[in-house]
Structure 1
Amino acid sequence: MLGLVPDSFPPGSATMLMLGAGAIGAIAVLGEYTTGMIRTTFTAVPARGSVMAAKVAVVTVATTGFGALAAFLSYGVAQAVLSGQDIAVGLGHTGIPRLLLASTLLAPVSALVGMGVAALVRHAVIAIVATTALLFVLPTLLNDHSRLTASLLHMTVLQAWDRIGREQDAGEQWPWTVGGACVVLAVWALVSAALTTFSANRRDQ
């Protein structure tokens, strides 16, 4: 039955959530920059870092709620389908709480990555493309054929989500821990939040 746990929030759902949240994060930063209203905002509130930190806080809270809603909705729909085959898995089942937690955290981390990229490039199309590349394209270009590439793969957001939300295979060549995956997500989130907050001191556009 452990094999049915991933069906509660499959990789396809994770990818859509990740890319959607990343786009939301980028737009949250670029909205005022593209209209030029950011100058007015910074004139009214000269503490630029505080303005961007507030954006980071709002987006983090909003996307965490969005991630939780998406995770539980996906779980509910999956269990409704699986219950018809008498193979549904409850919330107390091994792996389900971790999968729901990982899927909830995926949204704010992805949104923060989008914010960090947007704060650096200040261009909507480039920001969306770069965010998509970091969150989705990069993991597809890496593999676990060697220790180096496996280590790089483990440093991506998508793989960290996957490791937190699933049981590791006994014969996995380059094993890693759930704690390590949590650290990966935390580093992505903190670095992205710092870039968003402090890059505002460089320029207005």
Structure 2
Amino acid sequence: MSAAALVPVALVGALVGLAVPPLARRFATPPDRTGADPEPRPTVWAWLSPMVAAVVFVGLAVARGDDPALPVFLAVAAVGLVLAGVDLACLRLPDPLVRTAALLALGGLTAAALLAGTPDRLLGALAGAAVAGAAHVLLALLPGSRLGFGDVKLAAVLGLPLGWLGRDALLAGLLLPHLLHGGLVLGLLAARRVRRDTLLPLGPALLAGAWLAVLLV
């Protein structure tokens, strides 16, 4: 994809990033007793979100510019940014957002496979979702595991686009999130910012690992 074509992609990403903080607040914080949304508070994330979203979108466009499923990757990334914001705020991955990402991924990849005449890639996407979901179910069932079933469902959804790209992308997408999360936990423990029993969100690592896997394959 040419540099000129990346400019509108970056602008769309930045616009998505502007919408992420208020959407994340809406899902992370329930309305008050009068039914009104709580007063929003400006955060560092609110300022960084447009830049992060632009980088995410441009990275996907550079890596998958010739893939008919690029719009699907961008749509899933947009929902993923909101999910990351919610998980960072309240250690929760709301089902409505995960379902939205799943519908966008499954519907978009089905359309892309039919339009491109590559139904085998859709089968690969479905297999990727099954493998990613099953692997994380096993991890969640391990004694002492802190993996929540929201994380399991998100991993299965991310298995769709990763499976579309093939075995290498799926394997990277399964391993990278846990390497990122483990490194972060060790760093925070070394800095004494958390304790061993502190719960930390895994959703952002799942999303970041999947994004890196797309860029690396």
Bigger RCO (CA 8 Å, 6+ sep):
1
TM over 0.5: no
Compare CA radii of gyration and give the structure with the larger one.
Answer: 1
TM-score (norm 1): 0.34
TM-score under structure 2 length normalisation: 0.33
